[in-house]
Amino acid sequence: MAMKTTRKQNYPEWYQNVVSEADMAENSVSPGCMVMKAWGYGIWERIQRVLDEKIKETGHENYYFPMFIPLSFFQKEADHVEGFAKEMAVVTHSRLVNEEGKLKPSSPLEEPLIVRPTSETIIADSFAKWVKSYRDLPILLNQWANVVRWEMRPRLFLRTREFLWQEGHTVHASMKEAENETVKMLEVYRDFAENALAMPDLTGRKPEHEKFPGAIDTYCIEAMMQDGKALQAGTSHFLGQNFAKSANIKFVNQNNEPEYAYTTSWGVSTRLIGGAIMCHADDDGMVVPPHIAPYQVIIVPIIKKAEDAERVNAYVEQLAKQLKIQTAFGEKIRVKVDARDKSSVDKSWEWIRKGAPMVCEIGPRDVDSQGLMLKERIYLGTSDGKKIMAANDFVMQVGKRLEDLQAQMYSKAKTRLDANIRTDIKTPEQFAAYFANSNEWIEDNKQGKVAFVRGKWCADPETEELLKAMKITIRCIPFEQSGTTGPCLLTGKDATMDVIYARSY
RNA sequence: CGGAGUGUAGUUCAGCCUGGUAGAACGCUACGUUCGGGACGUAGAAGUCGCUGGUCCGAAUCCAGUCACUCCGACCA
């Protein structure tokens, strides 16, 4: 066990341990903010690259809008202001003056600026200028940016005051088209989470009280963490004409009539990295899905005697060169030779904690035999954890092996998800008994711990208070509904709607 | 913003009650033996004891103020 604290001992502490031991990020001196380090940011860069491609494939283009939004913009859409008012960073001054050694804000701004918590309002303002006719539509744009929400209880990757994300914003000429866009992008996220992050998700619609402020409908992907809690991994909002009305996005339709446009927005953030950690990491540290690993193969030369150095290094360089022209997931394989002047054992362990998918150890023996020692991260500690292989065989297999590792990771997480959605809880009494326990690590992906419940919900306003008291949330209303009637798990009243109940991050 | 706690070496902490020249472990540096599942020996570098003021011959230690951080609540991609 490379982690000081195991998942079983203390899950939240284990999480922090993984983040720091894998050297992914650390708390900044700037309160509530994080410093993303090479391995953590490298994963984000991979997420960006893979997702950006999908966003572009679906017809969107990248734009960039300012991070400062005039305060008045938030006054326009009532729900939206309410939703974000409590967590906004407000810029009120434009300079500092030195008063007897103390720097003080000076020159108050005529109108305070908000550091964007999300960009609907300022982008809608541009949309209003750009849209005149139905021929101008749709506008399909995306932006990669940082946003600020003044959180009081930050946790690295999961909830930080500043975080990085992508936010898509689109305008359409019809409601139907905008709704389709919302669902389409949710599917892009679901597919991305499944195939790039190896993280299975449930999809559905948010209940009224969990919706994005200002949205008609919020769709989401929800993932299950190893302690049975849910993580909202991505959201897609159908905004109807709400933002169009407040920002005056009007176009002339085919009947020569003025009409308010229909908008959508959708986003995923650096929170995905937190999700990947809590979905895949183990008591030895992070396990990075090969598709988003900054490096997929690490080569650690093992040099015992100085006279071996030259031939080992030459062999390692040759192998690295061959590996780099192989492909996995349709891309060149990312290989790193770790030639740092450190003990090879320390280096190997460092890559285990970071969760690099594969580590190849190469010493003089391997040069003699034209072989290598392969360690695959997810099999660490098992009989499959180490393999002595011929270098040529490895080069031929490497792409497929990486893809297999990715598939293994997905299937492990999928098994956990499927096994931990309870559908046999039918009454408020059973429901309360089930959630009486707190969440803890779901050992070996087995059933029986607190996780998700799929059951009925009557949607009465009183249920909101009941949920709050039990610290449970409705994660989503799944798209597939059974259509049956049964007692609401909170009130006992007759209900037909199926929902997913869980504790959440 | 409420409730509790903590600020001493790069890190984790001891020392504080009972005032008297700053400690440990890990990490780091050098050399040697090591290196394929977390090595060891020897030597060494490293701290305005969060900050300001007070008491005292003397303050990491006592007192007051202040700042910061952590945890628990309210809030949340």
What would the pLDDT profile of A152-189 be if each residue is shown by its tens digit?
Answer: 778 889 988 899 999 999 999 999 999 999 999 999 99
What CATH number does residue A338 fall under? 3.40.50.800
Domain shared by A192 and A276, yes or no: yes
Which nucleotide is closest, CA of A274 to its C1'? Answer: B77
Please report the pLDDT score of residue A100 as a whole number.
64
Distance A459 CA to B25 C1' (A): 57
A 10 A CB-CB count for A388 gives 12
Please report the pLDDT score of residue A279 as a whole number.
95
End-to-end alpha-carbon separation of chain A, Å?
26
Distance A464 CA to B71 C1' (A): 28
Q: Is residue A289 part of a domain?
A: no
Distance A168 CA to B3 C1' (A): 41
Rounded distance between C-alpha atoms, residue A282 and residue A279, angstroms = 9
Which nucleotide is closest, CA of A303 to its C1'? Answer: B35
Distance A471 CA to B20 C1' (A): 56
Please report the pLDDT score of residue A240 as a whole number.
97
Domain shared by A441 and A399, yes or no: no
Q: Is residue A290 part of a domain?
A: no
Q: Is residue A412 part of a domain?
A: no
Is the preceding omega at residue A138 within 30 degrees of 0, hence cis? yes
Which nucleotide is closest, CA of A232 to its C1'? Answer: B77
User: Looking at the 3D structure of chain A, how many domains does it have?
Assistant: 3
Q: Is residue A288 part of a domain?
A: no
Alpha helices in A200-343 (DSSP H): 242-247, 271-280, 309-324
Domain shared by A445 and A480, yes or no: yes
Distance A99 CA to B56 C1' (A): 36
Final residue before a domain boundary, out of A405, A434, A450 = A405
Chain segment A25-72, per-residue pLDDT in tens? 888 878 788 889 999 999 999 999 999 999 999 999 999 999 999 999
Distance A24 CA to B12 C1' (A): 20
Which stretches of chain A drop beneath a pLDDT of 50?
none
Q: Is residue A2 part of a domain?
A: no
Residues 6+ apart with CB under 8 A from A130: A136, A139
Rounded distance between C-alpha atoms, residue A316 and residue A325, angstroms = 15
Residue with tokens 């193969």: A297
Expressed as residue numbers, the domain containing A251 is 11-280
Q: Is residue A362 part of a domain?
A: yes
3-state secondary structure of A254: coil
Domain shared by A93 and A151, yes or no: yes
Which nucleotide is closest, CA of A312 to its C1'? Answer: B36
Is the overall model pTM greater than 0.90, yes or no? Answer: yes
Rounded distance between C-alpha atoms, residue A468 and residue A362, angstroms = 56
Please report the pLDDT score of residue A33 as a whole number.
86
Residue with tokens 């959180």: A151
Please report the pLDDT score of residue A326 as a whole number.
98
What CATH number does residue A153 fall under? 3.30.930.10
Residue with tokens 């500043």: A162
B1: residue with closest CA to C1': A152
Which nucleotide is closest, CA of A372 to its C1'? Answer: B36
Closest CA to A90 of A117, A112, A59, A109: A112
